[in-house]
Chains A and B, each alone.
Chain A
């Protein structure tokens, strides 16, 4: 079983601050995804990373995949209240055309105005 550890578990910050969320594992992944989930809704895909060392940017969000493809980070610049939510990382391996990612427990982010 592939385990994904996310840290921190909770984060409460003021609008305008920067933050970084980490996702770590001892397993090597074919790819890794980041999702954001709001209460009562399903997770929404933010990004997929597949290449070791890859960096992707989505407006104020920067995602990095570790060189060994075992870990990833999500950095948010100048956080806004609309960034509030549960951030989930998910990683897995492709096997026979099937891809079943394991999800981390998530980082619950609250951004105060």
Chain B
């Protein structure tokens, strides 16, 4: 059974640019969540999607957005990148009725 796949693994962007990260959940998992992980703040919740609808959103500025497609694949977008957006972005999926996430390996974003 394939795990959660995130692409790309690494990204280097310049301040002011925008970036799109992709996530393919485990087949059959309709709930997809995104987290930002930094050494200073740990894992911070960004969004949760279920059946193409954003069900919850964390406390992040509007520059952070996302969407989910009919096949449950998800993307997140960060516009007008800032140095502080440098982080490991993690996508996770879980089956309905289960509490534990399966995480992808993450996308390491560096903003210079």
Q: Which residues of A contact B (CB under 8 A)?
A: 30-31, 33, 35, 40-45, 48, 50, 88, 90, 92, 94, 97-106
The docked-state distance in angstroms from the alpha carbon of A92 to that of B98 is 12
* The stretch of B61-69, B71-79, B101-109 that contacts the partner chain: B101-109
Contacts of A106 in B (CB 8 A): 42
**Given contact pairs A35-B101, A100-B33, a sample of 12 additional A-B residue pairs in the complex whose CB atoms are under 8 Å apart:** A42-B103, A43-B43, A45-B100, A45-B101, A48-B98, A48-B100, A90-B43, A92-B99, A97-B96, A98-B31, A101-B101, A104-B42
Query: B92: CB under 8 A from chain A?
Result: yes
Q: How far is the CB of B50 from chain A (nearest CB, A)?
A: 7
- Asked if A103 and B106 make an inter-chain contact with CB atoms under 8 angstroms apart, the answer reads no
Would A45 and B43 be within 8 Å (CB), given that A98-B48, A98-B56, A100-B48 are in contact? no
Residues of B within 8 A of A88 (CB): 42-43
Q: Which of B42, B56, B99 contacts A105 (CB 8 A)?
A: B42
Number of interface residues of B (CB under 8 A): 25
A-B pairs with beta carbons under 8 A, tally:
58
Q: B residues within 8 Å of A by Cβ? A: 4, 31, 33, 35, 42-43, 45, 48, 50, 55-56, 90, 92, 94, 96, 98-106, 108
What's the Cα separation between A40 and B103 when bound, in Å? Answer: 12
Provide the bound-state CA to CA distance between A66 and B48, in Å: 28
The docked-state distance in angstroms from the alpha carbon of A33 to that of B50 is 21
Q: Please determine whether A42 and B99 come into contact, CB atoms closer than 8 angstroms.
A: no
Chain A residues with Cβ below 8 Å from B105 are 40-42
Partner of A98, one of B55, B101, B106, B108: B55
Given contacts A42-B90, A98-B48, A103-B42, contact A50 B108 (CB under 8 A): no
B92 / chain A contacts, CB cutoff of 8 Å: 42
> How far, in Å, is B54 (CB) from chain A's closest CB?
11
Known A100-B56, A105-B42; contact A33-B106, beta-carbon cutoff 8 A: no
A-B interface, 8 closest residue pairs, ranked by CB to CB distance from nearest: A42-B103, A103-B43, A45-B100, A31-B99, A105-B42, A48-B100, A48-B99, A43-B103
